[in-house]
A and B are shown apart, each in its own frame.
Chain A
Amino acid sequence: MSSIAIEASHQDLLRQLLSQPFETARKHEMMQQWRREQTLRPTLYLGAGTCGLGAGAARTLEAVQAYLKTHGIEAELLSVGCIGLCVEEPLLDVALPGRTRLSFRKVTEDRVPEVLDGVFDAGPMAPEAFCQFRQENATPWEAVPFIDEHPFFAPQTRWVLANCGHIDPSRIEEYIARGGYFSLVKALATMDSATVCDTIEKSGLRGRGGGGFPTGRKWKLALATPSDEKYMICNADEGDPGAFMDRAVIEGDPHRLLEGLALAAYAIGAQHAYVYIRAEYPLAITRLYEAIEQAHALGLLGENIMGSGWNLEIKVKKGAGAFVCGEETALMHSIEGKRGMPRPRPPFPSTSGLFGKPTAINNVETLANVPAIVLNGADWFSSLGTASSKGTKVFALSGKVSRTGLVEVAMGTPLRDIIFAIGGGIPDGRKYKAVQIGGPSGGCIPEAELDIDIDYESLKRAGAMMGSGGLVVMDDKNCMVDVAKYFMGFIQRESCGKCIPCREGTLRLLQILERISSGRQSEHGNDALDRFRGVMYLNRLASVIQDTSLCGLGQTAPNPVLSTLRHFRHEYEDHIYNRHCEAGVCTELLEYSIITDKCVGCTLCAKQCPTGAIIGSPRSPHYVVNEKCIRCGSCVTACRYDAVVAQ
């Protein structure tokens, strides 16, 4: 990783360039160099975000370093953020002087020599080469498709993620060379706070954290409240299961967030800002600290920013991993050093927020959208999207889909395109069942509604919500009762415990679901009766939780149950009436049997069975005694003749 200090000679130049109009500055030779449009020596880019590191990028890095050393190659090796195609990590790109940047996928440490031989020794091109970047004045590689032709990237519109995976996130020069901080400089020089608010309001930007509240209006409310002190907060407490958009933005392009946060603070008249980030994101936190230090060094943060007389201090506050701290009032309590519990609103944060002062809170992605809007204007932003939702949205695509990763599409893109075109559909020839969107507050969307054009309203109509942007795809091997159970378990653990409907109600919802998916063998006394009674109360309980809970977490807590019930009622009924789980996920409902025609009587299964539930004589078909069976599945594993089946 490169050092975080900015070279002294760069500092003055950067200041000077920032004071020029962007188009003029852009042409400066150093700016071109920082954009790596011309490289004098080979440059290697390793995708070393958390996703890349998880796939082994750290070992790949060592292997690449060793390779370069043994071959005596003088090259620059950069650890960049995630470009989005997580499924293909570790990703290694190589740009030779005069040649286009070439991307290799799944470059684990053992594949490094062969991959690099193909580039440096003019050996045969390794099969890992999967695309190349389009660059002027650079010779393309033969028989390698361009990135904009790749089915994962082609349908995307990358505004927020524009720099992720492209620039070295630890160097402010590279961000500035791509237009970074010119918005802040522009705003400070030519716009007052109200104008910035107006621009954002006109652009139609809405909160990307889930609620979709118009960002400009939120800022105006905070701006309009007179106070000696105001606070701007960035909510980076990304807690939804399956969501990692914010992490990728901070790891890959931290200055974009800082610039957006600074613009927001300027817009509401705040001189103090916080980034509330979960402590489980150590790399993102490191990147933030680096970025803040560099921005300070250039006078883009601190006192009298760019001679405007306006000051801004940004503090990083690490959250301790409570999901509820993503709720704004709980988040503020946490920053104040109190237990993260929501409080009733009103008063809203815009009038009485952090430490009782007017406060605005925005999500990472929302703020990352701001610099481009200020630089390019409201109309540029609002030209993309649907009537109610403008711009783009980043989604974290995961689950049963061929190409998992980080996806940024224009609002209004059909959901089907995201899953089947970008994501490449369902792997292993299985059938699509649903996509879970919006995390624990969201819902599941079935095949029949896949053709909706994604925006805040259409998702709500489909019984889901935008949420922060997690998309978890499920196939026919997923049980929807189990999915609902998973989310209720999550909410029930992560509820702050303050209000009764959320604390006690979600526990009871979970219990009802557990009973639905439990087998007769674990029932005692009145359990069977309670099981049906629970089903009868499910709707009533869910509606009271929605209606009376204190904060958004509780009000949306029953959504996973209600939406699966709405679209997959037959699965619930199958569980309840037939005690049968079509997907075979609810193990307690499985019934094991042995196909007599296939069984040769080898006795292996009977020997493996821990409870003696399989009986039979050698060389004659065996039988499963269901009352004794504990559904462990060891018989299925033991059988060499596929004679044991679980249904």
Chain B
Amino acid sequence: MPSIEINGRVLEAQEGEMLLGALKRAGVHVPTLCHVPGLSPSGACRLCSVEVEGMRNLVPSCAYPVQDGMKVKTHSPRAVRARKTIVELLLANHPDDCNYCVRNNNCELQTLAGELGVRLHRYGAYDKGYHLDLSSPALVRDPGKCILCGRCVRVCEEVQSVACIDFVNRGSQSIVSTAFNQGLNISSCVNCGQCIMVCPTGALREQSHVKNVVAALEDPNKIVVVQHAPAVSVSLADEFGLKPGEDIVGRMTAALRRLGFKYVFPTSFSADLTIMEEASELAHRIANGGVLPMMTSCSPGWIRFVEQFFPDRIPNLSTCKSPQQMLGAIVKSHFAEKNGLSPKDIYSVSLMPCTAKKMEAARPEMIHDGVADIDAVLTTREAARLIRRFGVDLLHVDPEPADAPFGQRSTAGKLFGGSGGVMEAALRTAHYLLTGKDLERLEFDALRGLDGFKQTSVEIAGKRIGVAVVNGLKNARTLLEELREGRDDLHFVEVMTCPGGCVGGGGQPHDTDRDVISARMQKLYQIDASEALRLSHRNPDIQRLYEDFLGAPLSERSHHLLHTHYSRRSVVA
């Protein structure tokens, strides 16, 4: 094991690790702007530069492997001055509009400038005349605020294998942009928002729907209905200073009512509905020789990925709408009818851990006769902003239950929030549909956890069903390529666009890292383990909905309201 000296103290480092990791363990904070754990080191920002004895220049600790006997000074005057100069150079180009920025008080550049004591606009400003890219339904790109750290570029390529953005132009004219500098809407962007998650500044952000929602809440003629995705209640707490993974569903429901939302429904309810439809579809495909493996369709980024990159796999996608859209459709049909409302009087909002849901809600298939299933989608971040704006002290409201008639959910529906959850929930119900009996043990350990690629096989009614669970589109691409090469042991595949599933979604709070994602996921498993209603088909609200309105899974009414279709999409790339 190499032993290194950091600021005069000796530390045992690990063979082959980068210096930055060793520094972190030694309790030394060296700032970074381009580093993302798990992605290839880029060495672009130079902020982690430290002084290493015997080296002519400062070395970037994120990209420099430890060597036995190396002596490192992390905060020598030379290193600190270099860091400060670099931040000053960045700020020279950066718009001085922190007060107006969505990332104010949550910006890595701003924090760094504070830490390094930047108090002077040392180098002159230079207006590069960049324009906002507002073309995407889900994301906003602001090249003026971009510091070209390249994190988004690497996430898009290395995690999602989408690579819709890259560096263009040279020198001081460099920007991160799409192919041919066209709008994001016609690029191969799948709207996953993982770029926002890694962006250190306000250069990437969601298309905000806050304004529209506030307007609807203020409109006396609108009944504003809100649903919240399973991952939101275990993530929102982070924004209010609680430890990651805390479930605040009751308090959140209460807070949402105080904001003026008339009805609050958990999307986990319609996740149960999705399971009823999807498990039935799977059973139907298996029984009737349909296209296999069937692939889940809850994750809109993944849908777009297939439509763009693997259109030949469209028949494999389940025709089920996502839970968000199913609940939207039910609210504007059955619910409206039952309450004597016109669908046009209902304003349907969803709280999602996701940016792609904004794009999904705007898909033409999701809008009928000018009435959209969902009118506005708020990310977890936007939901927090909204709650703050209305002065609701989320931590000090008393928990309240969700509204009837869609207020009950099974823990299977709640599991949707993590990678593997849809599969687990679907298998529980599929087993019942095919055998008439419930599984003895409901947990599928092989399908749980943060791994990007999980698989197992299950025996149902004497038939071995091969299943795979994938999160992160790069892993999805790998699987699709395996299928293209002839892999044929799979019947059902769950794909989530984001690493870890929705708990790691692109609409989540900015400090989401692997540990945080894991904590949220564990919370979902805990909820599943601690409650009695664990099967979608046992959800009384679901059963009633079928009795009163839908009839049976895959019925004509289901097809009309709960299923959709996909089409090949050509993009500029």
B126: chain A residues within 8 A (beta carbon): 507, 511
Which chain B residues (92-141) contact chain A, with CB distance < 8 Å? 92-93, 122-124, 126
B449 contacts A by Cβ under 8 Å: no
B122: chain A residues within 8 A (beta carbon): 533, 537
Check A511 against B124 for contact (C-beta < 8 Å).
Answer: yes
| Assembled-state Cα–Cα distance A362/B173 (Å) | 30
When A344-B60, A500-B89 are in contact, do A547 and B172 touch as well, CB less than 8 Å? no
Q: Is the interface of A mostly helix, strand, loop or mixed?
A: helix
| Assembled-state Cα–Cα distance A175/B379 (Å) | 71
When A540-B85, A544-B85, A547-B82 are in contact, do A492 and B167 touch as well, CB less than 8 Å? no
A508 contacts B by Cβ under 8 Å: yes
B150: chain A residues within 8 A (beta carbon): 498
Q: Which of B37-45, B331-339, B465-473, B508-516 is the contact stretch?
A: B37-45
Nearest B residue to A548 via CB reads B46
| Assembled-state Cα–Cα distance A354/B329 (Å) | 53
**Number of interface residues, chain B, beta carbon within 8 A:** 38
A505: chain B residues within 8 A (beta carbon): 85, 89
Check A508 against B170 for contact (C-beta < 8 Å).
Answer: no
B45: chain A residues within 8 A (beta carbon): 499-500
Question: 1/0 contact trace for B23-63 toward A, CB 8 Å?
Answer: 00000000000000000011111110100000001101001
B90: chain A residues within 8 A (beta carbon): 500, 504
A346: chain B residues within 8 A (beta carbon): 64-65
B142 contacts A by Cβ under 8 Å: no
Check A339 against B166 for contact (C-beta < 8 Å).
Answer: yes
Which of A344, A494, A549 has the most C-beta atoms of chain B within 10 angstroms of its own C-beta? A344
A50 contacts B by Cβ under 8 Å: no
Residue from B43, B65, B169 in contact with A343 in the complex, judged by beta carbons closer than 8 Å: B43
Residue from B43, B85, B166, B172 in contact with A495 in the complex, judged by beta carbons closer than 8 Å: B172
When A322-B170, A499-B46, A540-B81 are in contact, do A504 and B65 touch as well, CB less than 8 Å? no
A242 contacts B by Cβ under 8 Å: no
Looking at the assembled complex, report how far the CB atom of B32 sits from the nearest CB atom of chain A, in whole angstroms. 12
A555 contacts B by Cβ under 8 Å: yes
A640 contacts B by Cβ under 8 Å: no
Looking at the assembled complex, report how far the CB atom of B344 sits from the nearest CB atom of chain A, in whole angstroms. 50
A544: chain B residues within 8 A (beta carbon): 81-82, 85-86
| Assembled-state Cα–Cα distance A322/B174 (Å) | 13
Check B43 against A493 for contact (C-beta < 8 Å).
Answer: no
A103 contacts B by Cβ under 8 Å: no
Check B41 against A508 for contact (C-beta < 8 Å).
Answer: no
B78 contacts A by Cβ under 8 Å: yes
Looking at the assembled complex, report how far the CB atom of A241 sits from the nearest CB atom of chain B, in whole angstroms. 15
| Assembled-state Cα–Cα distance A605/B440 (Å) | 103
B354 contacts A by Cβ under 8 Å: no
Check B57 against A555 for contact (C-beta < 8 Å).
Answer: yes
| Assembled-state Cα–Cα distance A343/B34 (Å) | 13
| Assembled-state Cα–Cα distance A494/B170 (Å) | 6
**Number of interface residues, chain A, beta carbon within 8 A:** 38
Which of A498, A500, A534, A549 has the most C-beta atoms of chain B within 10 angstroms of its own C-beta? A500
Nearest B residue to A345 via CB reads B63
When A508-B92, A544-B82, A548-B82 are in contact, do A503 and B41 touch as well, CB less than 8 Å? no
Check A497 against B89 for contact (C-beta < 8 Å).
Answer: no
Check B172 against A501 for contact (C-beta < 8 Å).
Answer: no
When A548-B46, A550-B43, A550-B46 are in contact, do A495 and B86 touch as well, CB less than 8 Å? no
Check A506 against B172 for contact (C-beta < 8 Å).
Answer: yes
B57: chain A residues within 8 A (beta carbon): 546-549, 555
Nearest B residue to A340 via CB reads B170
| Assembled-state Cα–Cα distance A390/B129 (Å) | 52
| Assembled-state Cα–Cα distance A341/B44 (Å) | 10
B220: chain A residues within 8 A (beta carbon): none
Nearest A residue to B45 via CB reads A500
When A344-B64, A508-B123, A537-B123 are in contact, do A497 and B170 touch as well, CB less than 8 Å? yes
| Assembled-state Cα–Cα distance A344/B42 (Å) | 7
When A495-B172, A503-B148 are in contact, do A547 and B123 touch as well, CB less than 8 Å? no
When A504-B92, A530-B124 are in contact, do A497 and B43 touch as well, CB less than 8 Å? no
A394 contacts B by Cβ under 8 Å: no
Check A339 against B167 for contact (C-beta < 8 Å).
Answer: yes
Nearest A residue to B87 via CB reads A500
A236 contacts B by Cβ under 8 Å: no
Check B81 against A500 for contact (C-beta < 8 Å).
Answer: no
B171 contacts A by Cβ under 8 Å: yes
| Assembled-state Cα–Cα distance A494/B171 (Å) | 5
Residue from B63, B86, B124, B166 in contact with A344 in the complex, judged by beta carbons closer than 8 Å: B63
Nearest A residue to B91 via CB reads A504
Check A501 against B124 for contact (C-beta < 8 Å).
Answer: no
A493: chain B residues within 8 A (beta carbon): 170-173
| Assembled-state Cα–Cα distance A428/B396 (Å) | 88
Which chain A residues (307-344) contact chain B, with CB distance < 8 Å? 322, 324, 339, 341, 343-344
Which chain A residues (469-506) contact chain B, with CB distance < 8 Å? 491-501, 503-506
Check B123 against A499 for contact (C-beta < 8 Å).
Answer: no
B224: chain A residues within 8 A (beta carbon): none
Residue from B89, B167, B172 in contact with A498 in the complex, judged by beta carbons closer than 8 Å: B167
Looking at the assembled complex, report how far the CB atom of B143 sits from the nearest CB atom of chain A, in whole angstroms. 12
Check B44 against A498 for contact (C-beta < 8 Å).
Answer: yes
Nearest A residue to B150 via CB reads A498
Check A547 against B78 for contact (C-beta < 8 Å).
Answer: yes
B147 contacts A by Cβ under 8 Å: yes
Residue from A344, A503, A534, A548 in contact with B174 in the complex, judged by beta carbons closer than 8 Å: A503
B63: chain A residues within 8 A (beta carbon): 344
Looking at the assembled complex, report how far the CB atom of A516 sits from the nearest CB atom of chain B, in whole angstroms. 13
| Assembled-state Cα–Cα distance A383/B44 (Å) | 44
B41: chain A residues within 8 A (beta carbon): 344
A541 contacts B by Cβ under 8 Å: yes
| Assembled-state Cα–Cα distance A498/B47 (Å) | 13
Nearest A residue to B51 via CB reads A547
| Assembled-state Cα–Cα distance A19/B85 (Å) | 63
Nearest B residue to A338 via CB reads B166
Check A548 against B86 for contact (C-beta < 8 Å).
Answer: yes
Check A344 against B58 for contact (C-beta < 8 Å).
Answer: no
Which chain B residues (321-362) contact chain A, with CB distance < 8 Å? none
Nearest A residue to B147 via CB reads A500
Check A500 against B172 for contact (C-beta < 8 Å).
Answer: no
| Assembled-state Cα–Cα distance A234/B49 (Å) | 32
| Assembled-state Cα–Cα distance A503/B86 (Å) | 10
B49: chain A residues within 8 A (beta carbon): 547-548
| Assembled-state Cα–Cα distance A507/B81 (Å) | 19
Nearest A residue to B89 via CB reads A504
Check A496 against B46 for contact (C-beta < 8 Å).
Answer: no
| Assembled-state Cα–Cα distance A211/B3 (Å) | 32
Which chain B residues (141-173) contact chain A, with CB distance < 8 Å? 147-148, 150, 166-167, 169-173
Nearest B residue to A550 via CB reads B43
Residue from A495, A534, A547 in contact with B58 in the complex, judged by beta carbons closer than 8 Å: A547
Residue from A341, A503, A533, A550 in contact with B172 in the complex, judged by beta carbons closer than 8 Å: A503
When A504-B90, A504-B92 are in contact, do A550 and B78 touch as well, CB less than 8 Å? no
Check A497 against B46 for contact (C-beta < 8 Å).
Answer: no
Check B86 against A500 for contact (C-beta < 8 Å).
Answer: yes
A541: chain B residues within 8 A (beta carbon): 85, 123
Looking at the assembled complex, report how far the CB atom of A246 sits from the nearest CB atom of chain B, in whole angstroms. 22
Looking at the assembled complex, report how far the CB atom of B274 sits from the nearest CB atom of chain A, in whole angstroms. 41
Which chain A residues (280-316) contact chain B, with CB distance < 8 Å? none
Check B167 against A508 for contact (C-beta < 8 Å).
Answer: no
A530: chain B residues within 8 A (beta carbon): 124
User: What are 10 A-B pairs at a CB distance below 8 A?
Assistant: A339-B167, A341-B167, A492-B171, A495-B172, A498-B167, A500-B47, A501-B86, A533-B122, A547-B78, A549-B57
New contact pairs (20) apart from A493-B172, A495-B171, A497-B171, CB-CB < 8 Å: A322-B170, A344-B60, A494-B171, A496-B170, A499-B45, A500-B45, A500-B46, A500-B86, A500-B148, A501-B85, A501-B86, A503-B172, A505-B85, A507-B126, A508-B92, A530-B124, A544-B81, A544-B85, A546-B57, A550-B43
Top 7 A-B residue pairs of the complex, sorted by shortest distance between their CB atoms: A497-B174, A344-B43, A344-B63, A504-B89, A507-B172, A495-B171, A544-B85
